Structure 1
Amino acid sequence: MGLSSQASAQDAGASEGDGARANDNVIVVTANKREQNLQDVSAAISAVGAESLADNQITTLEDLQVAVPSLTIGNDFAFAKLYIRGIGLNSSLPGLDPSVALHVDGAVVAQPTQQFASLYDLERVEVLRGPQGTLYGRNATGGSINLITAKPTTSFEGFTRLTVGGDDLNFIAEGAISGPLTNNIQARFAFRHQNRDGFGVHTASGEDVDDANKFGIRGQINVDFSDRVSNLISVEYYKENERSKAVKFLGRSFSAQTIAALPAQIAALGLGDSNNNGINDGDELLAQIPNLVSLAGPDALINSRNVGGDVPPVGDLKTLSVTNTFQAELSSVLTFRSITNYREGESYLLQDFDVSNLRNGIVNANPSTVQVQYVDNSQFSQELQLVVDGSRLRGLIGGFYFEDDVFAIVPIGTDPAAAFSRRSELASVLATPNPGPAPAVVPSIASFFPDARVIIPGNMDIEAWALFANFTFDVTDNFRIKAGARYSHESRSVVVDQLLPGAGPGLQLATGADSRSFSDFTPEIGVELDIGDTLLYATYSEGFKSGSAALVDGTPFITEPETISNWEAGFKGTYFNGALDFALAAFIYQVDGAQFDRTRLISGGPRFSTSVENAAVTNGKGLEFEGTAYLTDEFRFAFNGTWYDIEFDTFETDNPLDPLGALEGLAGFTPRTVDLSGNRPRNTPEYSLAGRFTYDKDLASGGNILASIAYALTGNQFYTEFNDPRMAAGSYGILDANLKYTFPDENLSVNIWGKNLTNEFVVSGAFAVSTSRTITGTYLPPRQYGVTVAYEF
């Protein structure tokens, strides 16, 4: 769903409130690494500008779903789940790369745990759909979300905004100040702070959950060495300290009726004494049936924003990023650009799997079902570009280097009080250089969680480099061809232990390491044709994402790569003397090797097993349209829609919510496989429709009224490839509105706004937690409203 057509980035001097009418102002984007009118870019791309972001309270990645067609965003286990055209991150395990890349000023944010930073002081957001490899440094099979920050200015300017309101006592303060320090040095400073009560409560303590306590700060300095040479350095720090991101209770994995039917099903298997232990294996299976019973206590609330747990959940995040962008105009047609980035961050999540105030459904029972997840990483990237902008030939040649060191530790079944009280001490131990699961460090880690069922510490190192190019050549004034290519090379190594502290100090259940390297060549070719006011285009492109770290029964390995072949065609143009901007795109793709995770209940050891596997083939096709109709000088209507037919062509696997499959590990029993052919992938609605009416009127007094109302309808979608209706969201509609008055001096404005005004209760993600036999998930925010007062100078 989305409304991006009316919310645009404009050229210098244009006002977004003018409606970005094509014959007055142009929508300028830099998706092709040079400034272009959006209507001249032969790709499916949406742009949302600064004023629309502010007026519509689009302050997080999740909020972008109401502004961009084909984009769905959810989260579980503190991982951002970005999906475009049904392609995205299908794992809740540390170590898997997203299929949709997120860039900030050209620098990739690699780890999904760090992609939740709030959106503030942006010039615009650009969302590109389809594989992106010949224009961007990092691989992306599904698409790319590009955040372009506002840059230092040569004149003194700035803004401040204060937002208050809502049942949840939402408070937001943000602002920026920008201007020259000397004749050739400019600086910009921006910040944002949000404090909001929770959407629910922790039922045992009464403390808020799903609250907000976020703070971000960004400083930039630009030095103009000459009219042709400049250097911009940007430093950004962001943190969250919340009781958020914990999963909620959606239901029991296995109903009483399902469990009652198991004895007859087991008897029908006709198992004998295959392990020669004197016991019929059917009896062994029967003995495991009690392990399928949900551990959720009577206080586990279904379809509620409130959540139980041994302690309230915790969701902490800290990130630091430094980006240096050097640019030199070598001639009238050649520009050299260097983007250097260092980013580090840490994420800490604490949540109780059984979502109950009782341990395992029993007062004072042990062990707890609390999970702690700590992810720490430091990444470095260097991208070099030579941009060509000639009269007939335009494009770029680029080189990219990237490395990422990721450390994660996941204890499950630990004492919640100890895990929470010693988290700072644990973080200090893990912050030592390259701690890893080395023998000297393992006992130290295990000492933090002596009663845990299992502790999984692991290290992953990634090193990648790529060469890429993309050019467009004007064969005639109206006909152009474009071609691009990318060569990617990537190496990964992973070391993982699985510890059982309860069976002895630092006892290793499993340990191992794996390393692999991947190389791939991905081309792109296309044509463009101008017919009057219409741009027609067709493109074939390929994308590549290397194998990622995974676990099978505690043993690490590197999965196979994910690749995509994508055919796309479309048109876009301006019609009726500038009264209508319209774009239509159609695509067909085939994805090979999409990566999916599994968490199963087993009969022994830590009682669960995790794995990642590659789906064989996924086929997709669809239509996307968006546009803006300028009905009068005051009224405009922005609209868009999508229709998708995306399904697995071949994919056979076993279902972790098959009650017999959950008994995996007992001798003589092989889990049943399921043919998922014809099923839809995760986070893939069949359709979406959205529209926004806007009234923009200059008053005789010199002031301005801007009023809008928007409705976005999204079709049903599943959060599991098994298309289980218990892990799904039915079709839903979101109604937003705002009324903004700008005073005659154009500096002061007051905006009254509301989001999800009908208070739709929508599941945004789901996960089957085998260790507690519960199905859990997350929700979209409820109704929110408030008043924003802004002053610009």
Structure 2
Amino acid sequence: MAVVALPAAAHAQENSGSGIEDIVVTAQKRAENVQDVPASVTAIGQEALDLRQISSVSDLQSQVPSLVVGNLFGTNLITLRGISTGLTSGTDDPSVATHIDGAYQPRSRSIDVAMVDLERVEVLAGPQGTLYGRNATGGAVNYVLRGPSKEFEGEVTGRVGNYDRYGVSGSISGPIGDKVGVRVTGLYDNQSKGFTKVLNANAPRDSLEQNRVIGGRAIVEFKPTERLTIAVQGIGLDSKSSTAFFPFAPSLDAGINAASRPQSYKAHEVYTDVDAKLNSRYYQGIGTINFELTDNVSVKSISAYQDYHQLMVIDSDGSATAPFRGPTTSITNSKTFTQEFNLNASLFDDRLKSILGFFYFNDKVDIDTSLTIFSTGRLRFDTLQKSKSYAFFTDHTFSVTPSVRLMAGIRFNHDKKSALQSFFIDRFNGTTITGLAPTTTQVSFNSWTPRVGIQVDLADKIMAYAQYSKGFKSGGFASNVTAVNTYDPEKIKGGEVGIKSDLADGRVRLNVAGFYYDYSDLQVQSAALVSGVSVFRVRNAAASRIYGVEAQLQAVLADGLKLDMSGALQSAKYTSFLTCNNTAFLGACGSAATSTLVDVKGNWLNRAPNYTANVGLEYETEIGSAGKITLRGESYFSGGVYYDEFATPLLKQDPYSLQNIFVSFTPASDRFTIRAFVKNIANVDYKSSAFFQTSAFQQTGTWGPPRTFGAEVTARF
């Protein structure tokens, strides 16, 4: 398991000799050395985040084994160990739970705000149903933000790059008196030229996938006594960008195909007549209270409120001829409140470490979507979903002997959801067909998610573990559908065994984990034909089996020379799934009379490559008395990725690899740092997502970023 050292402020403790640093993480909701955590955890600290230019969740893909990240119309699709979501309606839940300073993030697009002021990222692979609850079937990603510093300090970073990118960010941090600390951070980043070239001269934009971001964060930390800490922070991000619709092949519908010409099926170029938008505003407030009742017992409260708004306007056909007579427009508004209480205790001379917790979730999301369809009319969808959830959980680790520890925990979760949904078709001749009058539906679910396990210290700095756990992803309602569509939770159960070791006097760190999961009641999308329009449905129609092995290595090869490697081999296949194949022929999923069910048993799960590998080599050296220079090269390798259950050739990404290079220089005075980078050096074209566009009867998707390069300067005071 590759673990990147954190700076001293992030609780790094250097091993004896010139070895690999230890990192203290909070993956199990208590502070502990990452090598003592009985799970696969990857931690990336601030210094590495800066050097490797990790500025979005997509950048983590080249750092974490078995992690695959795609982006589809503003939605971050995160896959861990073959577990992901295939739903894209907007009200669906993720399969990997994401938290910012302990606050759960229900909207995947809002994750990027965490990149404003990061101290570290922790990625936990495998079901985390006991400690993290709902929607952690694949794992959890924790973003830990920087707090106020003990001394007054500040920094300003200016950056430039290709695609007309420029920006500036900065922070000021320090104490106000003896009991109050403050940190304020701001960000402006503008990429005015997009990755995708628009081919037609009369288009509203000459490129797509440009991005402008303005954001900021402020945190005030108050410590009235040695045992009580109160922190209040506010985060805001305003983003204006655009997203592209990339056809991979002509439409199966002859009329749409004729009306859509010309189209381009090449990467990073498109025809469009639409002023595409992907704009979002995000605000979040987090209040944290940590009270140490005694030296061994503490109570923590995390309260968070989030307000998220998104406007998406996309071209529905990827052509300049407007066969659909207008764009697809979607407006999302959501408001979320979460509350968590944790009681941590270390008892019986630290032999028993326990946590008791309560979690409450209240979420309201409203999605309005309109889609204009050739020869039919305008479709209007409206979904207002309200969700309430509460959970009680407890987890314990008991040292039977100094070298043997037993683990046991359980969580009870109750979900309740209601949805007000409507659907209309407005004909172009002025008539209106009511597809679904405003209808309110309600569902509720209960779930128990336990874990049990054992840890054994085989020798000094060598620990083995085994555990069994369960997880679930919440059920709910699909939005943008023509009838009420409910589905049940997904369920996962299975085990993990692993070994964590520090060898060669701390100069080598080798961690290996094996896993096996039964993954059932998968929530899958399928299509149906309604009033001549193909729309999707969500149902619990699949089961699968996932197993594999991960290995992560860090080694100090010589003074200043470090190697980090990680990789995963896995099998993630359906064991049961009968469905219709929309890509086979036009109308394949149109009705019971014409639809053809296909058994995809044995096919690979979506976004689940059979292997991934990351290799990085980093060299740091002093240049006389001038300062320090760091050079890093890294490669990411991925096996083939299927984006649908039928192994459709155009909805697959063949095996590929990406290479990046980074360099930084810091003078002896440490007053500034200069960094430069090139990502995707070979300018490889690869699909980051793919799907069958049911309204256009067309195979489509998105492409990963092309070659990017740039430089930045950070000045400290």
TM range (shorter): over 0.9
RMSD: 2.2
Tell me what 1:433 maps to.
Answer: none
**Between 552-561 and 58-67, the greater mean CA deviation after superposition:** 552-561
Change (3 A) 1:578 1:296: farther
Tell me what 1:231 maps to.
Answer: 230
Q: Which has the higher strand share?
A: 2
Change (3 A) 1:21 1:179: farther
Matched residues in 2 for 1:20 and 1:123: separation? Answer: 24
Q: TM-score, normalised by structure 1?
A: 0.86
One of 633, 648, 658 as aligned partner of 1:709: 633
Paired amino acid for 1:518: F
Matched residues in 2 for 1:21 and 1:374: separation? Answer: 56
The answer to whether the 8 Å contact 1:661/1:672 transfers is: no
Change (3 A) 1:78 1:373: same
Paired amino acid for 1:514: T
The answer to whether the 8 Å contact 2:90/2:479 transfers is: no
Q: Secondary structure in 1 aligned to 2:573?
A: strand
Matched residues in 1 for 2:17 and 2:239: separation? Answer: 39
One of 149, 154, 157 as aligned partner of 2:150: 154
The answer to whether the 8 Å contact 1:80/1:116 transfers is: no
Tell me what 1:613 maps to.
Answer: 539
> 1:65-85 CA distances to partner (integer Å, 9 max, x unpaired)?
111111111121322111111
Tell me what 1:29 maps to.
Answer: 25
Mapping of 1:713-724 within 5 angstroms?
A: 713-724=637-648
Q: TM-score, normalised by structure 2?
A: 0.95
Deviation at 1:120, TM superposition (A): 2.3
**Between 746-755 and 195-204, the greater mean CA deviation after superposition:** 195-204
Change (3 A) 1:548 1:116: farther
Change (3 A) 1:762 1:457: same
> 1:374-422 CA distances to partner (integer Å, 9 max, x unpaired)?
111101110000011341111311000101101001100189xxxxxxx
**Between 121-130 and 204-213, the greater mean CA deviation after superposition:** 204-213
Structure 1 segments unaligned to the other structure (5+ residues): 255-288, 361-366, 416-449
Change (3 A) 1:15 1:534: closer
One of 266, 270, 284 as aligned partner of 1:307: 270
Matched, 1:542 2:478: no
Mapping of 1:683-698 within 5 angstroms?
A: 683-698=607-622
Q: Secondary structure in 2 aligned to 1:52?
A: helix
Q: Which has the higher helix share?
A: 1
Matched residues in 2 for 1:200 and 1:85: separation? Answer: 31
Change (3 A) 1:346 1:611: same
Matched residues in 1 for 2:112 and 2:7: separation? Answer: 26
The answer to whether the 8 Å contact 2:11/2:24 transfers is: no
Deviation at 1:86, TM superposition (A): 1.1
Structure with bigger gyration radius: 1
Mapping of 1:371-386 within 5 angstroms?
A: 371-386=328-343
Deviation at 1:207, TM superposition (A): 2.1
Matched residues in 2 for 1:22 and 1:323: separation? Answer: 39
Tell me what 2:77 maps to.
Answer: 81
One of 124, 128, 131 as aligned partner of 2:124: 128
Matched residues in 2 for 1:199 and 1:775: separation? Answer: 21
One of 327, 331, 349 as aligned partner of 2:294: 331
Change (3 A) 1:223 1:20: farther
Matched residues in 2 for 1:643 and 1:458: separation? Answer: 40
Matched residues in 1 for 2:704 and 2:674: separation? Answer: 26
Q: Secondary structure in 1 aligned to 2:695?
A: helix
Matched residues in 1 for 2:134 and 2:295: separation? Answer: 28
Tell me what 1:653 maps to.
Answer: 579
The answer to whether the 8 Å contact 1:101/1:145 transfers is: yes
Paired amino acid for 1:486: R
Change (3 A) 1:662 1:414: closer
The answer to whether the 8 Å contact 1:295/1:772 transfers is: no
One of 288, 297, 300 as aligned partner of 2:260: 297
The answer to whether the 8 Å contact 2:660/2:678 transfers is: yes
Change (3 A) 1:606 1:190: farther
Deviation at 1:165, TM superposition (A): 2.4
Matched residues in 1 for 2:393 and 2:250: separation? Answer: 49
Deviation at 1:114, TM superposition (A): 2.7
Change (3 A) 1:734 1:120: same
Matched residues in 2 for 1:46 and 1:123: separation? Answer: 14
Paired amino acid for 1:457: D
Paired amino acid for 2:664: K
Deviation at 1:627, TM superposition (A): 1.6
Matched, 1:674 2:598: yes
Change (3 A) 1:90 1:625: same
Matched, 1:358 2:316: no
Aligned residue pair count: 708
Change (3 A) 1:485 1:12: same
Tell me what 2:404 maps to.
Answer: 479
The answer to whether the 8 Å contact 2:16/2:505 transfers is: no
**Between 115-124 and 82-91, the greater mean CA deviation after superposition:** 115-124
The answer to whether the 8 Å contact 1:309/1:351 transfers is: no
> 1:205-261 CA distances to partner (integer Å, 9 max, x unpaired)?
252211111122111001101000011011001111112x3321211243xxxxxxx
Q: Secondary structure in 2 aligned to 1:726?
A: helix
Tell me what 2:39 maps to.
Answer: 43
Deviation at 1:615, TM superposition (A): 3.1
> 1:430-471 CA distances to partner (integer Å, 9 max, x unpaired)?
xxxxxxxxxxxxxxxxxxxx9952100111110100001111
Change (3 A) 1:613 1:11: same
Q: Secondary structure in 1 aligned to 2:700?
A: strand
Percent identical pairs in the alignment equals 28
Tell me what 1:252 maps to.
Answer: 250
Deviation at 1:788, TM superposition (A): 1.3
Deviation at 1:290, TM superposition (A): 4.5
Tell me what 2:436 maps to.
Answer: 510
Matched residues in 2 for 1:780 and 1:20: separation? Answer: 42
The answer to whether the 8 Å contact 2:150/2:174 transfers is: yes
Change (3 A) 1:777 1:553: closer
Change (3 A) 1:308 1:560: same
The answer to whether the 8 Å contact 1:462/1:490 transfers is: yes
Deviation at 1:310, TM superposition (A): 2.2
Deviation at 1:610, TM superposition (A): 1.6
Change (3 A) 1:295 1:537: farther
Matched residues in 2 for 1:10 and 1:35: separation? Answer: 16
Deviation at 1:475, TM superposition (A): 0.5
